[in-house]
């Protein structure tokens, strides 16, 4: 079937939904072209179907394609940011990385190398997971490309700075502890957002503070509001190269039931999107959306939320890239 695509600003855009129904055709992210259909990308969307690092419910290996299917509903103009991201810059879907599901160390090395390959020409990466283990190799690649440790905003119900699980150093609960230990994070500009729920003990928080993390809990977002939350985050990050990592369980289970380790009392999808939009103009060098587990996602609630989160991340990058080009 012929692909009838929108073209604007010299960029090849999504399939034209006015001529081909949204439910038809290949399910790339937002119905965008594949990476082999364009000469160069400014932003690349890639999936990582890996969930061998989970400690509770598996299934996030199927998350990337679930998000892609939900993203069929996305349209090319983002009114909340007054931007047509696919017109401003070239965005394409690189498909999925092929990683070893039986060897975490090898998988981490593969993800890191793939991320470096996909960004060799200056493209920025938005990654669809997969479990949160994948954030470590993605941060390694982002720091290497930036030439310095990167700032981090980590949206999650959980800290993910634990030391080991069953003696394993690399799991979905340990990536940011490893990242601090490896010196790839700017520890003056790192923060969790949306954390909540029971911990193993007060030492979890003590360790986390020692690593340099600030914490904005889901209760803080509720009591202080989005604007104050954004102001605090922007003040902490400044103009440093910023990586944003989003575990979809940062959302309350009412907004994201399809995830491996849900916690009550989370932020809403509206709050998450508004906080992200408040980061406009910041130097966003990479991002991921992880822990979408479709087996538990009735009515695609989680997939829809994750697709909109990824879309706003792409929009933020597109706005910053095009502004820099114009300026």
Kindly report, residue by residue over 184-205, the tens digit of the pLDDT: 999 999 999 999 999 999 999 9
User: Taking a C-beta distance cutoff of 8 angstroms, is the pair 215, 191 a contact?
Assistant: yes
What letter does residue 83 receive in the DSSP assignment? B
Quick check: 3 pLDDT over 90? no
Average pLDDT over residues 106-131: 98
Residue 135 has a CB neighbour count (10 Å cut-off) of 30
278 forms bridges with which residues in the sheet? none
Contacts of 114 (CB under 8 A, 6+ apart): 46, 97
Q: What is the pLDDT of residue 326?
A: 80
Q: What is the pLDDT of residue 126?
A: 99
Residue 46 has a CB neighbour count (10 Å cut-off) of 23
**Spatial separation of the C-alpha atoms in residues 41 and 35, rounded to whole Å:** 7
At 136, list the tokens: 């470590």
For CA atoms 305, 308, 313, 316, give the dihedral sign.
Answer: negative
Nearest to 289 by CA among 66, 129, 58, 68: 129
pLDDT level of residue 63 (50, 70, 90 thresholds) = very high
CATH code assigned at 314? 3.40.800.10
Average pLDDT over residues 27-53: 98
Average pLDDT over residues 3-29: 93
Does this model's pTM top 0.75? My answer is: yes
Q: What is the pLDDT of residue 293?
A: 98
Q: What are phi and psi of 68, to 5 degrees?
A: -60, -45
Q: Which is higher by pLDDT, 72 or 326?
A: 72
93 forms bridges with which residues in the sheet? 34, 45
At 55, list the tokens: 């400690």
214 forms bridges with which residues in the sheet? 191
Q: How many domains does the chain have?
A: 1
What percentage of the chain reaches a pLDDT higher than 90? 97
pLDDT in tens, 263-297: 999 999 999 999 999 999 999 999 999 999 999 99
Range of the domain at 160: 5-326
């Amino acid at each position: 079937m012929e692909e009838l695509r929108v073209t604007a600003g010299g960029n090849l855009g999504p399939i034209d939904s006015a001529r081909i129904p949204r439910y038809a055709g290949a399910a790339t992210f937002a119905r965008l072209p594949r990476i082999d259909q364009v000469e160069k990308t400014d932003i690349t969307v890639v999936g990582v179907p890996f969930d061998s690092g989970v400690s509770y419910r598996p299934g996030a290996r199927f998350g990337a394609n679930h998000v892609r299917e939900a993203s069929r509903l996305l349209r090319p103009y983002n009114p909340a940011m007054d931007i047509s991201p696919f017109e401003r810059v070239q965005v394409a879907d690189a498909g999925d990385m092929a990683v070893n599901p039986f060897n975490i160390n090898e998988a981490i090395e593969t993800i890191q190398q793939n991320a470096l390959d996909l960004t060799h020409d200056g493209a920025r990466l938005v990654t669809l997971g997969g479990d949160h283990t994948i954030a470590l190799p993605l941060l390694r690649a982002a720091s290497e490309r930036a030439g310095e440790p990167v700032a981090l905003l980590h949206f999650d119900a959980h800290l993910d700075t634990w030391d080991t699980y069953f003696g394993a150093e690399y799991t979905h609960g340990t990536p940011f502890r490893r990242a601090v230990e490896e010196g790839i994070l700017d520890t003056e500009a790192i923060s969790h957002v949306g954390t909540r729920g029971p911990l193993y003990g007060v030492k979890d928080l003590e360790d986390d503070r020692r690593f340099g993390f600030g914490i904005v809990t889901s209760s803080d977002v509720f009591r202080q509001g989005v604007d104050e939350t954004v102001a605090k985050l922007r003040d902490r990050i400044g103009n440093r190269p910023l990586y944003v990592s989003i575990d979809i369980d940062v959302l309350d289970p009412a907004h994201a039931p399809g995830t491996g380790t849900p916690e009550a009392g989370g932020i809403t999808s509206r709050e998450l999107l508004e906080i992200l939009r408040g980061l406009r103009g910041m130097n966003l060098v990479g991002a991921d959306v992880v822990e979408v587990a479709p087996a538990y996602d009735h009515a695609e609630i989680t997939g829809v939320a994750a697709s909109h989160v990824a879309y706003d991340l792409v929009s933020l990058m597109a706005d910053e890239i095009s502004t820099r080009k114009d300026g």
